[in-house]
Amino acid sequence: MKVKSTLQISKSYLNKILLTCLVLLAIKAVLLPPFDIQLRSEEPRRAVVSMEMILSGDYMVPHLNDWPYYNKPPLFNWFMAGIMQVASSYEEWTVRLPGQLSFLITAGLIFLLCRPLMGRDQSLIAAFFFLTGGEILFYGIIIAGQIDLFYTLLVFVQIIFLYRGLTTNHGRKSLTLLSVSYVFMALGILTKGLPSIAFQGLTIVGWWIATRDYRILFKPGHYLGMLVALLLTGGYFYKYHLITGEGWTYVINLYKEAAQKSGLEGESSNVLSNAIEFPLNFLKTLLPWCLLLFALTSDKIRTRLWQSEFHKFLIVFIIANIPLYWFADYLSLRYIYPFIPFACILLAELISHPKSENLGSFLNKLFIALLLVAALFWIIGPILPQVDQLPFGLWQIFWSLAFLSISVFFWYKSYRSSWLLACLMVFMIKIQSTWVFYPLRSQDERINSLTAHVEPMFQASEGQSIYLFGTPDIYDSDASLGPFTIDQVRFESPMPVSYQHLYHITKHQGSVMKFETSMRPGQYYLARESDVKEMNVDISYQFEDDWLHHQLVICKLKE
């Protein structure tokens, strides 16, 4: 008995060590990459909108190139602008920090909010499954300057409080919980528009159908919550309208943005293609933990999963909302990030299920597979053609990590805590991959990408601020459902160029890069060559926009 007790204490102590290592590795992998890489995709656009808020002092009306920006509400940009001001910096790390913090906070809330619902161990596993899911860990946090990780945090809190509010019979407690859920729905609307309303409404209807309890539809918390949400969202858009007179244009365009990404206005061929590819893409976001789904071949596990009220609710949430993305005209994997925390909670239930002892052998094999992947990095790393460009001392760190991985393997042979060690190995593979990918990417960007044009552009402008010149794009947006159109609006926006140009120029000159449709004497402009070739201008620099592949020039009117 004494030996057994000593072993149990030792195992508990080793678990704490592993958990501490996992937390430190998560912070390292997410917040402390070894090298900076340029903003990409939507990141620079989010950055420029936030920077223009700070530079102009106008936080109520989002702008891009000093023109109203209608595609997204401002909440995420407020968060980013706040971090930029606290840090007194517009660098890439301040752009990505809101998303990175949101990712870590979501994991922490999975543990804290789910612990009363599913126990400490399961909620802990779910949190680390979320942190080590392949899509976000290996790609999502690299482009964390986008809106989606922050939005995932809001949706997670919204749905957890919705569950608590719908399933409690205590009137005052239900009122409070549902009200909180609607508050986070409103914050989601102020972040990404209409999808938050769909998450709330479809989940409530789905739960009503699953439980056949019509009383959940008439809980007082719905009415109070909707009133609070209306005051928050309606208050903002009303204030926006008082300032600009274009509040309705803003709302219509947000509806159009959501409709265009759904199957409501999509081409049938695109919808069909996405429907075929979606299941594998969704599973890809959950690698390697989606491999645990094979446990659902057990009738007992499926039955027990459905009998748990909490897990049943999460299944209903996914089934009720996933068709909007499954049968969409276009899908980016980041659009389905809000589903990942809930999928990880369900996977945690599978791995910790009393009838899941057979998963032990599967996890053993999974750990070995992860170790082999890590070994592959060790083998191919030294023979990469760019190895001579890597920073001094990098490979000493690299081989130290290899040694640590081998040590973990031998530890594992005598101490089998499979999911902990598997998560540890995923973090180690992530860190190894960044030590190879980041420096090579960073080196390439300094030589071949947009940053190479920043200094020449400002040399060509003699250090003066650069404006954007061209013909505005005209957009028609409408609020329609199938053949029925409620209203239609038309608005103009600046001529599109790579948002990285806008970001780097705005950051360098410390002032808004305004878009103008006519040139002023003595002012330097970034313009398309085709737009100024018939004008009386001096061209001092020329290069190609790597997004739309137009020839761009730095120019000014001849004196």
Q: Are the beta carbons of 441 and 37 closer than 8 angstroms?
A: yes
Tokens 């002892």: give the residue: 357
144: in domain: yes
pLDDT tens for each residue of 372-418: 665 665 555 555 555 445 444 455 455 555 555 555 555 555 444 56
Give the integer Cα–Cα distance in Å for 130 and 133. 5
Tokens 């400002």: give the residue: 458
Rg (CA), the chain: 26
Give the integer Cα–Cα distance in Å for 383 and 348. 39
DSSP string, 440-486: HHHHHHHHHSTHHHHHHHHHHTTT--EEEESPPEEEEEEEEETTEEE
Alpha carbon of residue 342 to chain centroid: 15
Structural domain ending residue among the three candidates 316, 351, 386:
351
12: in domain: no
Q: Give the pLDDT band (50/70/90) at residue 438.
A: low
Structural domains counted in the chain:
3
pLDDT tens for each residue of 263-277: 555 556 677 888 888
Q: Give the pLDDT band (50/70/90) at residue 138.
A: confident
Kindly tell me if the per-residue pLDDT of 7 is higher than 50. no
* One domain for residues 215 and 341: yes
If DSSP codes are grouped into helix, strand and coil, which group holds residue 557?
Answer: strand
pLDDT tens for each residue of 145-191: 999 999 999 999 999 999 999 999 888 899 999 999 999 999 999 99
The pair of three-digit structure tokens given for residue 446, joined into one six-digit string: 């300094």
Side-chain half-sphere CA neighbours of 49 within 13 A: 25
Rounded percentage of the chain residues whose pLDDT exceeds 90: 48
36: in domain: no
Give the integer Cα–Cα distance in Å for 28 and 222. 41
pTM assigned to the model: 0.89
- The letter for the amino acid at 277 is E
* One domain for residues 315 and 364: no
427: in domain: yes
* One domain for residues 275 and 393: no
337: in domain: yes
* Closest C-alpha among 143, 123, 141 to residue 132: 141
Q: Are the beta carbons of 211 and 219 closer than 8 angstroms?
A: no
* One domain for residues 97 and 192: yes
55: in domain: no
Count the Cβ atoms, other than its own, within 10 Å of residue 266: 18
Task: Pick 305 or 131 by higher pLDDT.
Answer: 131
Side-chain half-sphere CA neighbours of 269 within 13 A: 0
49: in domain: no
Give the integer Cα–Cα distance in Å for 244 and 266. 31
> What is residue 246's DSSP assignment?
-
**CA torsion through residues 96, 157, 325, 253, sign:** negative
Structural domain ending residue among the three candidates 416, 449, 482:
449
Structural domain ending residue among the three candidates 395, 424, 449:
449
Task: Pick 360 or 341 by higher pLDDT.
Answer: 341
* One domain for residues 315 and 178: yes
Side-chain half-sphere CA neighbours of 21 within 13 A: 18
Q: Which domain holds residue 364?
A: 359-449
The pair of three-digit structure tokens given for residue 219, joined into one six-digit string: 């809980």
Q: For the chain, what is the mean pLDDT?
A: 83
Q: Are the beta carbons of 178 and 295 closer than 8 angstroms?
A: no
pLDDT for the residue 485: 67
* One domain for residues 340 and 392: no
If DSSP codes are grouped into helix, strand and coil, which group holds residue 509?
Answer: helix
Give the integer Cα–Cα distance in Å for 426 and 422. 6
* One domain for residues 168 and 227: yes
Give the integer Cα–Cα distance in Å for 147 and 191. 8
pLDDT tens for each residue of 442-481: 555 554 566 778 889 999 999 999 999 999 998 887 766 6
Give the integer Cα–Cα distance in Å for 349 and 304. 10
Q: Are the beta carbons of 89 and 36 closer than 8 angstroms?
A: no
* One domain for residues 366 and 327: no
Tell me the C-alpha to C-alpha distance, in Å, between residue 443 and each of 31, 36, 311, 323, 504.
20, 10, 47, 42, 18
Q: What is the mean pLDDT of residues 191-207?
A: 95
* One domain for residues 543 and 407: no
* One domain for residues 214 and 258: yes
User: What's the angle, vertex CA 555, arms to CA 554 and CA 558, rounded to 5?
Assistant: 165
pLDDT for the residue 6: 45
Q: How far from each other are the two terminal CA atoms of the chain, in whole angstroms? A: 95
Tokens 């072993």: give the residue: 7
41: in domain: no
Write a three-state SS string for 271-311: HHHHHHHHHHHHHHCCCCHHHHHHHHHCHHHHHHHHHCHHH
Kindly report whether the peptide bond that precedes residue 288 is cis, defined as omega within 30 degrees of 0: yes
pLDDT for the residue 544: 86
Query: CB neighbours of 526 closer than 8 A, spacing ≥ 6?
Result: 457, 466, 467, 468, 469, 497, 501, 505, 513, 552, 553, 554
Q: Give the pLDDT band (50/70/90) at residue 3.
A: very low
- The letter for the amino acid at 336 is I
* One domain for residues 85 and 106: yes
Range in 190-199, 340-349, 425-434 the model is least confident about: 425-434
Query: CB neighbours of 529 closer than 8 A, spacing ≥ 6?
Result: 539, 542, 550, 551, 552, 553
Query: CB neighbours of 391 closer than 8 A, spacing ≥ 6?
Result: 439
* One domain for residues 153 and 213: yes
Give the integer Cα–Cα distance in Å for 130 and 126. 6
User: What's the angle, vertex CA 150, arms to CA 185 and CA 449, rounded to 5?
Assistant: 145
pLDDT for the residue 41: 83
